[in-house]
Each structure stands twice: as structure tokens, then as C-alpha cells.
């Protein structure tokens, strides 16, 4: 596989798929530039080696239509400033051949939002899935997606994908475009390389013991990951809102805590699977219950299986926190996805904080720790502990699918797996 460090960019044009889907305020100003900063090492490498850049990205969900609200023209200035080069703008991503051809070494062209074209996502627009003509429309769209990808490919000598956030999608710019470059002229960007390596660390090159912490609100959204991890981990902590589905499944009284009544059997099955596979399943035994879903609610610590009628568990209790920490501190590989409580309320952060602190401790003792999936990242940032873990993934859905063991189209298009 070609790598960005082995490719000679001198005199070449590189088309780079980045994730510049940054949040903007009412005035169109960027409120968080993390994603732009994330792509800079790759972009700067191409320029430093004497190449020219064609940058492409999506922003928001314009659903195949031009919409000024999602125009990437709004970020030209910020990208120019960060790259230290005056970035040119192509107002139509599918009609940028001339501008691309005119680029000289060291110059940069940013294409308008790819998702202004339905071909980017490759889904037919304006036709219902139930419509008998849907399948034909889908086939036709796949063909025009190829043409769109071919046009993008025609702008450059080589292709780099550095957009991990969309790597789980087979879109024109994330996967299909790679078909128009030979093996020696397509590669992963630095950010993608790091993400892929981090996932390999927890799925392939595992140092033991391996502790995974899955939290968040529901079992149903995490089941694919839990099942894939069951064959890999030594300790599995299941916390957050799922706690109460497990407690109820085992006959507990959970008051008005969040629960998935149709997943009680699934919860029992997970407990059985863990036993059969020799996985140490850690479930909270106590919780901080509240008499209202609010930060200012009255609270009491109670066993998870004896929560009073009108109360609900909103955080892990002190015994649970100790059990979580014990399963984390000796670990050599750690994955954390999803908070242990309603961390958005300051009074219900203790469970998540105990997890974050144990992870930081294990990391400083040499463990590899990966934090990923929106809310756990928000959590670690809220605690100001981002620099105390090994790696924070930038990909929500993409990371979760990778951990489920699914092949990511954006990675496969380059690695050929």
C-alpha cells in the first residue's frame, strides 16, 4: 500500500478528501475548528513536498441541493490562515477542471460542498423507497455517481483520504473515486492512518488485559459492538442507561429509570455469553438515583435493583465506581465509548469521572487507551483530561462500525481489503 510518506508529491496535484464539516454560528463563523486542525498535517506535507492541493469535503446535510447555508466558501479564510496559503475556491465541485489544471506547486484549491450533488452520497432524490421505480432510480444514480467520482479524479495525479468521520460511507469522494487511481497513487492521510492504527490496537494487536467500557443510554445501539468485543476483551464494563435494562432483566426494581423492555432477554443473553466466554462482566451494583431528570433533583444512593418507585438512576454509585476502576487500572488496552451517567448534568458526572481517572492512571502506567464516540469524547473534554489518554478518535459512526468489526469502505478503497 502506498503511504503519504513514501509518495513523491513534487510537481504533482493531490486531491484530498478531508472532513471540514465544522460547526458554524448564525454569522457563518466557525465555532470549533478541531476538524480543520486535524487535517493540517496531511495538507502541509503535500505542500512542503512541492505538490499542489485540491481539497474536497462535505458540510452539513444539503441533501443533493445547492444551499448557501452549507457553502464551504464560508471557511476559505480560516483554511487559508491555518495553511498559511491563500486558498482558491471552486464554486462548483464538478466544474473545477480548469481551476485544477491551472494550479502550480504550493497552490491550494478548495472545492464547493460535495453534497450539493446527490451523486456524492449516491442516493436517488425525490423518490420514495416504496416506489416501484426506486430500484431503477438507484441503479441510474450509482452510474452517475461513478461519473461524478471520475470527474473528481480527473483533477489530480493522486488521491488521499483523510476523512475518517465519513470512512464508513461508500460515497463518491470517500471510496468510489479511489477506483480511478492505481495502487501507487492512492493513500490514507495521516489522520486516517492514526485512526486505523488505533482501531488495530484494540482489535488486532491487543495487549492484555483488555478492558472495554461501554456506556450511553441504550443497549440496542451498542449491541453489535458488545458482541464483537465479547470475543476479545478480558473485562467488559457495561454502564450508563443500559444498567437498568440489565437490572430489570434480573428481576430488579428500577423505578422510572431508562429501560428497554424489549431488550431484557438480550441482556440476559449477554450475561450468559460473558460467562461462557470467560469475560469478566462488570455491571453497576449501586446508583445515584434522582427524583427528577434534572441537575437539581434530590438524590440518594441505592442498589440498582431496589430503586424507589418515583426515582431514576442517573449515575453510577460509589461501589460501582470502585468496581469500574478496579477493572480498568490493571488493563494494558482500554476502549471507552459512552458515559456512565447523565454527564451533561454536573451533579451526575462522578461515574464517568471515576472511569476517566482510572483510564488516565492506567495510561500513565503504559496502557493504550482509545476514547471514541461523541459523548465519551465530550465527557473527557469536560473533565479537561484529553491529554491523559492515548488516543481520542475523531470518528463517531465510523469508529463504532470499525469496532463492530465492519470493513470501512473508505479504508478498503485504499488498502484493498
Residue 213's nearest CA partner among 332, 336, 299, 124 is: 336
Shortest Å distance, C-beta 130 to ligand AMP: 30
Q: Which is nearer to ligand AMP, 2 or 358 (CB)?
A: 358
Which residue's C-beta sits nearest to ligand AMP? Answer: 216
Which residue in the block uniquely carries the three cell numbers 490496537?
201
Q: Which is nearer to ligand AMP, 123 or 218 (CB)?
A: 218
Count of residues in contact with ligand AMP, rule CB under 6 A? 15
Shortest Å distance, C-beta 275 to ligand AMP: 25
> Active site includes 218?
yes
Of 12, 218, 361, 415, the catalytic one is 218
| Chain center to CA of 55 | 21
Q: Does 401 bind ligand AMP (CB under 6 A)?
A: no
**Residues with Cβ within 8 Å of residue 266, at least 6 apart in sequence:** 219, 220, 223
Q: Does 313 bind ligand AMP (CB under 6 A)?
A: yes
> Active site includes 240?
no
Q: Which is nearer to ligand AMP, 155 or 246 (CB)?
A: 246
Shortest Å distance, C-beta 54 to ligand AMP: 35
> Active site includes 241?
no
Among 341, 372, 395, 410, binds ligand AMP (CB under 6 A): 341
For the record, the C-alpha cell of 358 comes out as: 482510572
> Active site includes 366?
no
Q: Does 241 bind ligand AMP (CB under 6 A)?
A: yes
Q: Which is nearer to ligand AMP, 62 or 215 (CB)?
A: 215
User: Binders of ligand AMP among 355-384, rule CB under 6 A?
Assistant: 375
Q: Which is nearer to ligand AMP, 259 or 389 (CB)?
A: 259
Among 62, 122, 209, 240, binds ligand AMP (CB under 6 A): 240
Q: Which is nearer to ligand AMP, 162 or 375 (CB)?
A: 375
User: Binders of ligand AMP among 172-231, rule CB under 6 A?
Assistant: 216-218, 221
Of 252, 396, 397, 405, the catalytic one is 397
Shortest Å distance, C-beta 324 to ligand AMP: 13
Residue 115's nearest CA partner among 88, 135, 74, 145 is: 145
- Residues forming the site for ligand AMP (CB under 6 A): 216-218, 221, 240-241, 258, 313-314, 338-339, 341-342, 344, 375
| Residues catalogued as catalytic | 35, 218, 374, 397
Amino acid at each position: 500500500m502506498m503511504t503519504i510518506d513514501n509518495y513523491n508529491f513534487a510537481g504533482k496535484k493531490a486531491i484530498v478528501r478531508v472532513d471540514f464539516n465544522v460547526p458554524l454560528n448564525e454569522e457563518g463563523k466557525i465555532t470549533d475548528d478541531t476538524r480543520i486542525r486535524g487535517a493540517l498535517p496531511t495538507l502541509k506535507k503535500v505542500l512542503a513536498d512541492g505538490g499542489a492541493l485540491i481539497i474536497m469535503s462535505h458540510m452539513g446535510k444539503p441533501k443533493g441541493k445547492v444551499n448557501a447555508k452549507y457553502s464551504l466558501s464560508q471557511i476559505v479564510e480560516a483554511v487559508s490562515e491555518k495553511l498559511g496559503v491563500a486558498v482558491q475556491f471552486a464554486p462548483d465541485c464538478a466544474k473545477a477542471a480548469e481551476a485544477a489544471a491551472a494550479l502550480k506547486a504550493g497552490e491550494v484549491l478548495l472545492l464547493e460542498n460535495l453534497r450539493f450533488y446527490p451523486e456524492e452520497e449516491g442516493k436517488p432524490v425525490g423518490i420514495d423507497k416504496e416506489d416501484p421505480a426506486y430500484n431503477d432510480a438507484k441503479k441510474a444514480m450509482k452510474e452517475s455517481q461513478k461519473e461524478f467520482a471520475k470527474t473528481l479524479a480527473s483533477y489530480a495525479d493522486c488521491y488521499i483520504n483523510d476523512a475518517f468521520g465519513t470512512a464508513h460511507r461508500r460515497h463518491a469522494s470517500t471510496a468510489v473515486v479511489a477506483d480511478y487511481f492505481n495502487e501507487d497513487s492512492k493513500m490514507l492521510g495521516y489522520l486516517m492512518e492514526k485512526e486505523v492504527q488505533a482501531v488495530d490496537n484494540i482489535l488486532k494487536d491487543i495487549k492484555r488485559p483488555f478492558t472495554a467500557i461501554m456506556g450511553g443510554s441504550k443497549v440496542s445501539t451498542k449491541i453489535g459492538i458488545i458482541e464483537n468485543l465479547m470475543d476479545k476483551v478480558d473485562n467488559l464494563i457495561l454502564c450508563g442507561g443500559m444498567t437498568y435494562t440489565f437490572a430489570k432483566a434480573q428481576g430488579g426494581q428500577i423505578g422510572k429509570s431508562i429501560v428497554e423492555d424489549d431488550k431484557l432477554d438480550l441482556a440476559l443473553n449477554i450475561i450468559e455469553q460473558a460467562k461462557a466466554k470467560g469475560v469478566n462482566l462488570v455491571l453497576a451494583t449501586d446508583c445515584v438515583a434522582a427524583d427528577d431528570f434534572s441537575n437539581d433533583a434530590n438524590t440518594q444512593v441505592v442498589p440498582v435493583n431496589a430503586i424507589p418507585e418515583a426515582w431514576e438512576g442517573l449515575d453510577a454509585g460509589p461501589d460501582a465506581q470502585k468496581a469500574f476502576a478496579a477493572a480498568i487500572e490493571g488493563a494494558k488496552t482500554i476502549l471507552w465509548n459512552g458515559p456512565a451517567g447523565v454527564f451533561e448534568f454536573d451533579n451526575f458526572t462522578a461515574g464517568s469521572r471515576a472511569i476517566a481517572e482510572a483510564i488516565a492512571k492506567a495510561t500513565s502506567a503504559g496502557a493504550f487507551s482509545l476514547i471514541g464516540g461523541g459523548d465519551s469524547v465530550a465527557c473527557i473534554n469536560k473533565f479537561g483530561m484529553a491529554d491523559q489518554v492515548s488516543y481520542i478518535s475523531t470518528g463517531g459512526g465510523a469508529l463504532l462500525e470499525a469496532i463492530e468489526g465492519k470493513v470501512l469502505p473508505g479504508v478498503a478503497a485504499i488498502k484493498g481489503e
